[in-house]
Amino acid sequence: MIHNAIPNVGAAEGDAVREAVDQGMLAIGPAIGVLETRLSERMGGVEAVAVQTGTAALHLALLAMGVSDQDLVIVPEATFVATVNAVRYCGASPLLADVDPQTGLIDLDGLQAFLQNECDTTSNTTTERNTGKTIKAIVPVHLYGHPVDMDALDNILKPYGIAIVEDAAEALGARHRDKPVGGLGHTAILSFNGNKIITGGAGGMVLTPDANIAKRVRYLASQARDDALYFAHNEIGFNYRMPNLNAALIVAQLDKLDSFVARKRDVAGRYAELFADIPDVAMMPEASWAESSCWMSILSLNPEIYTSGAEPIIRDLVAQQIGARPAWIPLGDLPPHKQARRMNGEGARRFLNTTICLPCSTGITNEEVEAVAAATRALLEVARS
């Protein structure tokens, strides 16, 4: 099996975990602080709070910004369901924004038109006319490792008083106009799930320039405990702290982050070369101002030529033991979120129908990349005929 995206761990990770075990520091220990410090430094000095998962990080970040059951939170349609689930955990309602069908990134033109035409703004507060609810926050997703144009998004949001929480779960190591994603001046979250570029098996991080948000996140993640000695709790909190065991593994992986990102980019670039002579297919483009982490190697099909879409090709690749994957189902098409307010959804449907996520583990060999490309090329030829 040529897997889609699996962990790449070695002796250093094993040594780090064994050291934590030998010290008896499984839940609480020094690796947590080391990880927070190193990521803070990498992101330009922002506050960093380690938590159990990327989903927990997003939940806590939204809560720390005051998101509640009276609010709407804008989420792009093309993302893993955890992004919108975190909004629901806060009791808030998602407002689903459509995406660019070529990239899967939030459709900024469509977002601007919606805010101008469907919302009312007074005293730096924006209300969505249809529901009467306040739009409290937006969660732009740096999809598959490519950054959203945050400068353009900032300019759009200036009149509206909408807070930003960047979902950078897939984009650790990416850069936006020479700045690291996660250190762009907004609150952001990371994930260290098993399929991410670096992993702890599980884990997440809240990154924020706001010390008060960081303090609130840390407090809520520790069951809202108010006294270091007594079990005093004045609020409902969550058991969201990152265990030291996971942190030790992530710290060891962090030493390899730059080489892993370079390998991800090399793999995507090699796929681009191997498909360059085929009309009507292309790897996901990279903006001139961006440096994608290429968490996924994305092949896009021209829907006018490949009228059956990406699904039959993906299924045939999987049948050949090649771990291709589809893009995300539009959130508004999932049963738990079908009642959500939507801006459109057609761009996200087209993105799903035309996108193939090719195997791109950091440990994939050049020979495996060529084998994946050869099998995909054969299926593309059949699909065109």
Domain 11-254 has CATH 3.30.930.10: no
Q: What is the pLDDT of residue 228?
A: 85
The CATH superfamily of 257-384 is: Aspartate Aminotransferase, domain 1 (3.90.1150.10)
Domain ranges of the chain: 11-254, 257-384
**Which phi and psi angles does 362 have, rounded to 5°?**
-65, -20
Confidence check: pLDDT of 378 > 90: yes
Mean pLDDT of 276-296: 97
Q: How many helices and strands in the chain, by DSSP H and E?
A: 12, 17
Note the pLDDT tens digit of each residue in 138-194: 999 999 999 999 999 999 999 999 999 999 999 999 999 999 999 999 999 999 999
- Distance, in Å, from the CA atom of 97 to the CA atom of 79, rounded to the nearest integer, reads 11
pTM greater than 0.95 (yes/no)? yes
CA–CA gap between residue 17 and residue 26 (Å, rounded): 9
The arithmetic mean of pLDDT across residues 11-20, rounded, is: 97
Taking all residues of the chain, what is their mean pLDDT, rounded to a whole number? 97
In sequence order, what are the residues at sequence separation of 6 or more whose Cβ sits closer than 8 angstroms to the Cβ of residue 257?
Answer: 172, 173, 197, 198
Distance CA 103, CA 331 (A): 16
- One fold for 11-254 and 257-384: no
Q: Does residue 123 carry a pLDDT above 90?
A: no
Residue 124 has what pLDDT? 87
pLDDT of residue 44: 97
**pLDDT score at 177:** 97
Spacing of C-alpha 314 from chain mean position: 22
Q: Residues 223-278: pLDDT tens digits?
A: 999 988 999 999 999 999 999 999 999 999 999 999 999 999 999 999 999 999 99
pLDDT of residue 9: 97
What is the model's pLDDT at position 57? 98
pLDDT for position 149: 98
